[in-house]
Structure 1
Amino acid sequence: MTDRLKELVDAGVSIWLDDLSRQRLTSGNLEGMIHDQHVSGVTTNPTIFAKAISDAGAYAEQVARLAAEGVSTDEAIRVITTGDVRDAADLFKPVYDDTDGVDGRVSIEVEPGLARDTEKTINQAKELWEIVGRENVFIKIPATKEGIPAITATLAEGISVNVTLIFSLDRYKAVADAFLTGVEKAIDNGHDVTKLGSVASFFVSRVDTEVDKRLDAIGTDEAKALKGKAAIANARLAFEVYEEVFATDRWREIETVGAKPQRPLWASTGVKDPSYKDTMYVEELVTSGVVNTMPQATIDAFADHGEVKGDTVRGTYDEARKVIADLEGLGISYDQVVQVLEDEGVSKFEASWTELQDTVTSALKKAAAK
């Protein structure tokens, strides 16, 4: 039987699960995915936690205890989410050790409402790092303009960072520079940068969702021929930036003390348009040195019928540039698309936080009424 996920890992792609729940932890499900599906990391967000808490009775005992203690909703969220992340980090510690800290990482996000506030983001990143207390944790910080200096400051404290919500190439260049500056400062501050990790999470499928909508509005054959191409082109050009940044003398100097590069991470890789192959955003973004964080359905789909067709990123840059140029030629502005996506992304993050608050508030009230 073909182990397609193993082929993907052998091609240099780290498979991370975009999900976490108490039930996955206690049932042995997540441990099984490490061994059977080559999962080497986990990413979380407020929507994932809201679903976990509303779907499972696994939290009932803890919620009842927190309700009896009279804690606030936000305090309860902090206790529940950091507890799950800590337990997941412990589960992934052997992977972390085996890969010298490259994989075995678990991400937890700063509150989305702080996305436009640099200082509060930095402070909460430090708090989450201290509360979880595991060196294989990533603190997720969004790549807003206000998030860029927070990334540098957090890394400078020796705290590993998952930079999330990246859409544009220009913003990614700023993220990479923030990473380099942060690691340089961490070195100056005396931190052990061999343990300092970072990924830059480029959102994929949402780019096609926005661009395809505009192509449908144009409606010409030329427009239809470009559907489903923008997201992959954008991610491939991001990898070109990655190659350029981590070939510089500046990086080479940082690398001499054992620092690891900030790997590109492909996020939002579940297909939104059912007419596209469900493994498209995995198959077309295969290259060594990247992470693909997938929902369970995408992992299962790839295990069943995914194809590793060699490196599908390196050497594709001119073709990718032509896709972006062709879209511009049709009047679809790249800069406008990525700005819309960032603004929407921040709004969606905030809405998901509200959803999590509502879920936990409801659970606390039910527990208190018993």
Structure 2
Amino acid sequence: MPQLIKPQAEDQQLLDKLRPSRIVLPVLLGLSVVGFMFWRSYQPGDLAPLANAKPLWLLLMLVVLVARDAGYVYRIRYLTEKVLSWRAALDVIMLWEFSSCILPSAVGGTAVAPVLLHKEGIPLGKSVAYIMATAMLDNLYYVLMVPLVVLIGGDALYPHEALQGGLVATLRVGFVLSYVFVTAYALLMLYAIFVNPQAVRRLFIRLFSVRGLRRWRNKAYQHGNELVLASQQLRGNGWGYWLRAALSTAFVWTARYLVIGCLIAAFIDVSWPEFWLIFGRNLTYKVILLIAITPGGAGIAEGAFPTFFGKFIGTPTMTNFMVLLYRIVTYYLYLVLGAVFLPRWITRIYGKRKAEQVLHS
């Protein structure tokens, strides 16, 4: 169980995951893929749309980015019942984003976030509960939004223009399976937190006692215990607490999915139906990022971007430029911000000497 982790081991695991040297691999992967894409298709005349940039859309993109991060800060502060100061909430979100960029997408910042909250003075049990609440709300947003974008976009959510029929069918199956899995898991978390966590813990233990799944039994047992703990911590919160959490979750994820559309509209004329189709394609694009094994999806996110959004941009050269700009504002920016916030946070939590040790490791 989380409470049994020794403080020294917990600290070491956290600082190992946040090592600045972890930045190198994802940067090399991402820039190498973009560089190869430019090398393969670069045509100087294809960048002509850059001269017609629309400042209003660029400003809107920056507003969306800032609003998204502000929404994250607001959500974590109010989910933790204002135990975090605004400064501490900002530090936690920046380091959470940073860890999502340097750890594999399947792991993400969720592995680090409970310890970050714990180091801010929140008991580890409550920290785990708060992070599980964010995961549940994030999954529920996806569960509710997918039917809406499918209703609006239909079969156009899949990039038929860039993939052969067999690959489109594979993507469609992957999208449906991921939706079913996320829905089942979100409903299971809802049931565990608000109805019967002990029953879900027993289900996890029995499921992972099946031959072939036993290697994950200990993790399933731990996860079941975490759900019980989360239920104990969260069930007493009123409707106002959950309404505020749900609305802030909808706000930050909607802003997150709007970034690509704003970026493309800043250089390319897109109609409103196309703009919302771009928004919808973000949810199918997410399937690729969910299964990415590289840190922050580096290399994979860049390589898949033209398949999903090249149709709305035009030439391969311009599309590659959009890939680079998109990753700068949504990925490399957070590597830089993480490098700025990390030493300040370590100094505040552990002291200046520890910060120097970590930063030079």
Tell me whether the two structures share a fold, i.e. TM-score over 0.5: no
TM-score by length of 1: 0.30
Q: Looking at CA atoms only, which structure, 1 or 2, has the larger radius of gyration?
A: 2
TM-score by length of 2: 0.30
